[in-house]
Structure 1
Amino acid sequence: MADFLYDPAEELTGPNHLGVLADHFRKSSNYSVRRSKGTQDYLLTFTMAGQGGFKIDDKIETCVCGDISILSPGTPHHYGTLGQIWEFYWVHFVPRADWLIWIQQMGAHSGFTQSSIADVSVQSRLRGVFRRMIRDSRALGSHQHALAMNAVEEMLIVLALSLQQSNMGLDPRVEEVLQLMSQRFSEGISVDMLAKQVGLSASRLSHIFKQQVGESIIECLIKLRLRHASRLLERTTEQISEISDLCGFQSPYYFTRKFREHYGMSPTQYRNNMLQDNV
């Protein structure tokens, strides 16, 4: 199974670059890479199919579909295919200073770390991010380089958020409801609709959600709407009635009442305070 570990793999050095180097590989059983001195940058792989493996020190780490593997700079490693194929995305990158907090949250600030992304929607998003990353990293020009770096940043944020939610031990159905609410809070969402989406009764979903999140579905939904409303008040000149509608509230009156309860002031007062702070 781990035949690649005994192959005389070619000794490689890390890429000599300061930006983003990414690609999508589908390798056969004879694929193997060895770097006895590691790299000067971070290497991240996202396995799509098949099986690969990393040998770090004397330990073998297997990679299967959904696995994210991260090697920090200077980590000696040897990796290759386990079985028939290994299909994976990979990226070498030098992180910006403000990215290090997300890298630390993933436990990747030193050595080797591996996590599994089980949520298929997160996997799908990561595939899209990698496709853009690869395209922009191959193009010429500073703008394309900036776009590739933005894709790496998005990837790290998505991974850090996904792993944070997993560490909270949330029921997968609660995670799905939270994701649906964050994506569709401006629509007419109901508890019955959410319960049907995840295959539970409304009462059972409400109980599990309150138990794990600490607040009811409606309370959480209202907070999502109010947070978006506050951003629109800060950054746009839309009328209060229009913001109320954009955020999914039943009426401007109900929106204003809930906004005052949460922020301690009316939407108009909030906007005026933001304008004064920016003068």
Structure 2
Amino acid sequence: MVVGHFDEDAGYGVNRPQGSDSWLFTWTTGGRGRLRQGGSEARAGAGELVVLAPGVPHAYAVEPGARHWRFWWAHCQARPSWTPWLRPYATGDGPDGLYTVGPVPAALHDRMEGAWRRMHADARWAGADIPAGDLGIVVAQGSAARELALCGLEEAVLLAAASARPPTSPPGLDDRVRRAQARMAADPGAPHTVRSLAAEVALSPSRFAHLFTEQVGHSPMRSLLETRLRHAARLLEGTDLSVERVASASGFASAFHFSRVFRARHGTPPGAYRDGMRPAITVLKGTSKGAPKGTPIQ
């Protein structure tokens, strides 16, 4: 786990065409930033927590026109239990793994700031030779420092997710699109197709696909994939079904395909997601200001 605090001027930016092997959490305290993950984008202002899942090309920078961006950040392997907290804040249906949590009420900003400062202090708890007031980059060394810092991040994620208002469905969403979404959610394991969903709402496949994409922002099949992944995550969290049975119950043709897609979405295989296992030390791809290339991420 790596934690730091930056206050960057206009022109600052980081681009990682291969994404990262770890999750990235950012908490903005001043100015504005812009974060891009795959095909999704978020603008971060004070009081917003923006989270990027691993394995997807991403970039972030001071928002054009802003004078600076002041923010806390942490790279780590997220605990699987955090996923349900973040899920309501996914951009669109979240296939790119971008979550915008906020704005968090101003009354809680001091507590959020305290959680990040404790996280930073706990990450260097194992005796790193860094002055107490220095908010530079800290790499958690050893399991005690890592677990203490993760507890601080967990507090920040839960506090933000519990207090912010989840995005709501766009007003005026066509009832036929709502019905199609409800049909997918009610039975994600069914062999849905554009044609079958269109027939259920009395539209031609081409008209249905166009209407759905126009109103939701992505295709019906992309929405179905995310619905199936959400269903699979709930089964992994709440049952002892095998990965093969979870895949089948969620509408995936094979356990291999399911595992590949699930890992791309959540950053961990289905079995490890269920068990709460964290991968071994990985390496951060790309660099940030002040961060040495190849900083280990735990």
Which structure has more RCO (C-alpha within 8 Å, separation ≥ 6)?
Answer: 2
What is the TM-score when the length of structure 2 is the normalising length? 0.45
Question: Greater CA radius of gyration, 1 or 2?
Answer: 1
User: What is the TM-score normalised by the length of structure 1?
Assistant: 0.48
